[in-house]
Amino acid sequence: MSETINVIGGGLAGSEAAYYLAKRGYKVRLFDIKPKKFTPAHKSADYGELVCSNSLKSDDVFGNACGLLKEEMRILGSMIIDCADKTKVPAGNALAVNRDDFAAMITARLKETGNIEFICKDVSEVDLNENVVIATGPLTTEGLSGFIKRITGDGFYFFDAAAPIVSGESIDMDSAFISDRYGGETGKGDYINCPIDKEGYKSFIAELLRAERVQLHDFEDEKIFEGCMPVEVMAARGEDTLRFGPLKPAGLTDPKTGRWPYACMQLRKEDAAGEMYNIVGFQTNLTFPEQKRVFGMFPALKNAEFLRYGVMHKNTYINAPKVLNDDFSMKEHERVYFAGQITGVEGYVESAASGLWSAVNLDRKLRGLKPFSADTRTVIGALAKYVSTPNCDFQPMNANYGVIAPIDYDRRKKAEKKRLIGERAIEITKKIKEEL
């Protein structure tokens, strides 16, 4: 191909788009500030680095919308999901990865194409007359953020918080037990469960609420996205809020008592060897010493070694319904595409999916073919339609059954609904694949 395509950003969306286009024969220039510079949330020189959790959520194709989205992406040849499948670690029904191996494999795949020029540069603007995919993610640098605002209008933002990671060998297993939720035999499963009694829980909540937090000086208006809310914010909503959230004890039988605990923290593997564990759902903005002090009130974490403390950072997204078509191209600049969380899709898999969909349609446009319309009977199409449909209260959206076109089914057999939706989506996606 004689066409050159600029991809701005080497996260999941940018990597997915760059790989797809390079494999289709285009010369791709992939711009990223790495490895000379890093955002406050990034540490690795590799592309596709995961910032928050190492989980890509459920892998249940016929029971979870994100699981179905992964299957659609597999059918369409997603490099990101293939790398995730090859670097996964045990996590029950979820697809969790060894984050270092995952990013390293993505980087290797990009380099193996032979069609990608890697350019380390802090891009401050793009030529709107060139083919470009802007996939700079929620942590877009200041210069480019200003340019994006000029071509899209005022943006939105929310704060996103990442959970801490602790050393596996530092967990007090005498005060913990292994079991998946409703997972059958205790001692088998992918999660370490850390129970706490009623008195301990009440003391924990009190200390959590008075703990020192990192001061956020950069922004005047603090908006917290509900899907990634810090535990201290949840705790402020009521004493029992966490017991119905990340500390929910339901289905976790403590072998010492034969009963569910009063509250229970879950730890999920970050790597196959079990050397690192993520505190599930414990995104936080507490200072580092306070995280160690307060989270250490759980008996199983009293001597825990924190390998990574929780952090909070700014996430930015555009008013996509105002400026994007359902193929992720701009309405006013047809050669410019957006992809990733900056479009208003929320989540690792959703971000990669938007990168794949934008690349598929840019390729079709350059070949003189009509871009695919967003078919809401598929998850990938439903998300594309969501971010491009007028909405006076536009908010980031995860994959969910609510955005997918409904299906007729026997109301007496509700369990069939998700299976039927999944089968329909897979059939449609296979037809799309045949056209590629």
Residue found under tokens 């797809």: 20
> If you average pLDDT over every residue of the chain, what do you get?
91
Q: In terms of domains, do 334 and 425 share one?
A: yes
Domain with 276 in it: what CATH number?
2.40.30.260
Q: In terms of domains, do 109 and 241 share one?
A: no
How do beta strands 116-120 and 27-32 pair?
parallel
Structurally, the chain folds into a number of domains equal to 2
pLDDT band at 219 (very low <50, low <70, confident <90, very high): very low
Per residue in 65-80, pLDDT tens?
999 999 999 999 999 9
Lowest mean pLDDT across 154-163, 185-194, 386-395:
154-163
Per residue in 76-99, pLDDT tens?
999 999 999 999 999 988 999 999
Residue 326 to residue 384: CA distance in whole angstroms: 5
More confident: 400 or 381: 381
Backbone angles phi, psi at 29, to 5 degrees: -110, 115
Q: In terms of domains, do 119 and 256 share one?
A: no
- Judged against a pLDDT cut of 50, whether residue 244 lies above it is answered with yes
Instruction: Single out the residue in 254, 287, 313 at which a domain terminates.
Output: 313
Of 382, 349, 215, 207, give the one whose Cα is nearest residue 285: 215
Residue 351 to residue 21: CA distance in whole angstroms: 17
Residue-by-residue DSSP string for 84-143: HHHTEE--TTEEEE-HHHHHHHHHHHHHHTS-EEEEE-------TTSEEEE--GGG--HH
Domain with 51 in it: what CATH number?
3.50.50.60
Backbone angles phi, psi at 377, to 5 degrees: -80, -10
Backbone angles phi, psi at 61, to 5 degrees: -65, -40
Q: In terms of domains, do 258 and 125 share one?
A: no
Q: Is 321 helix (H, G, I), strand (E, B) or coil?
A: helix
Q: In terms of domains, do 146 and 8 share one?
A: yes
For residue 252, what are its two tokens? 């976790």
Of 415, 417, 379, give the one whose Cα is nearest residue 398: 379
Instruction: Single out the residue in 313, 348, 369 at which a domain terminates.
Output: 313
The confidence score (pLDDT) of residue 303 equals 96
Q: In terms of domains, do 146 and 183 share one?
A: no
Which secondary-structure segment (H or E) carries 58? Answer: strand 55-58
Per residue in 281-292, pLDDT tens?
999 999 999 999
Q: In terms of domains, do 347 and 245 share one?
A: no
Q: In terms of domains, do 292 and 404 share one?
A: no
Per-residue CA distances from 74 to 70, 84, 347, 429, 434 (Å): 6, 11, 17, 10, 14
Asked if 397 contacts 65 with a C-beta cutoff of 8 angstroms, the reply is no
Domain that holds residue 406: 4-155+318-435
DSSP one-letter code for 177: E
Instruction: Single out the residue in 278, 313, 348 at which a domain terminates.
Output: 313
